[in-house]
Structure formats: structure tokens, C-alpha cells
């Protein structure tokens, strides 16, 4: 007996026990399997499985069950191919770049720390920038130049950030250097 001879309900159950790549592969082999693989219940199972394995930590089981299929697909896609900001925009091909707008942020300067000591990173979506300086790691909102958050430390050795929830929050990784050696 071939897999495709199974009744649809059983095929659907099989898909619900598969991982992402198996579901993707199965959906490419046969139109019936493709249609089954697009069903919401399959994507709930995939996200639930990823959640149990610790890959999705910001969603409860109830959140997952309440999400529309497109959002479930987006969660999985993000884990597989990274945030949308990592993919090249479709329409940007061959267009000469030019600056469309100009925003001036006015962070307070600390005495003795010239501007070149500030390290800047634009967050995905471009709505915020991170500024590392002698006061710590600061997050500035580009639209109105407001300081929205600060992590106080003068030993930020490295940082990385990733925007979540459509810009409502961000995950930050901050590496802090060890205590400076005690000079006597």
C-alpha cells in the first residue's frame, strides 16, 4: 500500500507529526498533499512542535491556536529563512540608491568622549537606532529623535538586536566585558 492510498484524514495526521522540511517536501510531491499541507491544523502542529523544542519562546499554546494560518506560516518562515529584513526587497533591483530623508539625532555628549566613540546600529525596520557610548547602550526612535531606552554600562563589548511583534518590542543581546583589572 502506498502512502497516497491512505484516507485523507490519515494523511493529514501523518503531516501533523512531520517536521517543517518533511511537510515542505511532501507538499511538493502531489497536489492532494499540497492542499493538505496548507491546512491550518498542520501549521499549528508545526509551530507547537517548534515551541516545545524551544525555538518559539514568545507564544503560548493558546496564542498559537488563536493565530491565523498566515501568521503561523510567518513564524515558521522566520525560523527557517530569518527575519524579513534579511531578504532582499523584490523591487530594489538596479535602482540607484539615493538618500530619501535625513534625520538628526541629538544624543547628549559626555565630557571627554568624542563622538567617534559612539557606535551606531540601525535596528531592522529602520525605526530605531542603537547607540553605544560611555553611558551605555541607548535606543533612539528615529521619527522624533526620542531616547526610548538605555542600558547603563560603559563596558558593552558587543551587541545585536532583532525587532519583534511588528516593531512593538526587540530582543537584544549585550555582551559585557569583565571587571577592569585593579591597578594599584
Ligand X SMILES: *[C@@H]1O[C@H](CO)[C@@H](O)[C@H](O)[C@H]1NC(C)=O
- Using rule CB under 6 A, residue 117 touches ligand X: yes
- b/e string for 41-74 if b means 16 or more Cβ within 10 A? ebbbbbbbbbbeeeebeebeeeebeebeeeebbe
- Using rule CB under 6 A, residue 35 touches ligand X: no
- Using rule CB under 6 A, residue 65 touches ligand X: no
For the bound state, the minimum distance from the C-beta of residue 52 to ligand X, rounded and expressed in Å, comes to 29
Q: Please, which residues have CB within 8 angstroms of residue 145's CB and are 6 or more apart in sequence? A: 103, 104, 105, 106
Mask 147-176, x = binds ligand X (CB under 6 A)?
A: -------x-xxx------------------
CA atoms 169, 173, 178, 180: torsion sign: negative
Nearer to ligand X, 36 or 67 (CB): 36
Which residues of the shown chain bind ligand X in the complex (CB under 6 A)?
Answer: 4, 30-32, 117, 119, 132-134, 154, 156-158
Amino acid at each position: 500500500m502506498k502512502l497516497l492510498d491512505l484516507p485523507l484524514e490519515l494523511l493529514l495526521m501523518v503531516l501533523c507529526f512531520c517536521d517543517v522540511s518533511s511537510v515542505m517536501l511532501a507538499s511538493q510531491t502531489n497536489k492532494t498533499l499540497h492542499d493538505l499541507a496548507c491546512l491550518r491544523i498542520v501549521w499549528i502542529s508545526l509551530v507547537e512542535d517548534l515551541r516545545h523544542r524551544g525555538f518559539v519562546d514568545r507564544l503560548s499554546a493558546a496564542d498559537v491556536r488563536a493565530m491565523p494560518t498566515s501568521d503561523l506560516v510567518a513564524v515558521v518562515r522566520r525560523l527557517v529563512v530569518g527575519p524579513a529584513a534579511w531578504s532582499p526587497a523584490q523591487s530594489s533591483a538596479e535602482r540607484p540608491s539615493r538618500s530619501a530623508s535625513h534625520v538628526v539625532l541629538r544624543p547628549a555628549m559626555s565630557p571627554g568622549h568624542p563622538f567617534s566613540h559612539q557606535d551606531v546600529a540601525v535596528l531592522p525596520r529602520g525605526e530605531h537606532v542603537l547607540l553605544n557610548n560611555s553611558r551605555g547602550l541607548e535606543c533612539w526612535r528615529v521619527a522624533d529623535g526620542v531616547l526610548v531606552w538605555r542600558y547603563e554600562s560603559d563596558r558593552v563589548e558587543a551587541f545585536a538586536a532583532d525587532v519583534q511583534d511588528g516593531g512593538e518590542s526587540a530582543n537584544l543581546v549585550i555582551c559585557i566585558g569583565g571587571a577592569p583589572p585593579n591597578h594599584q
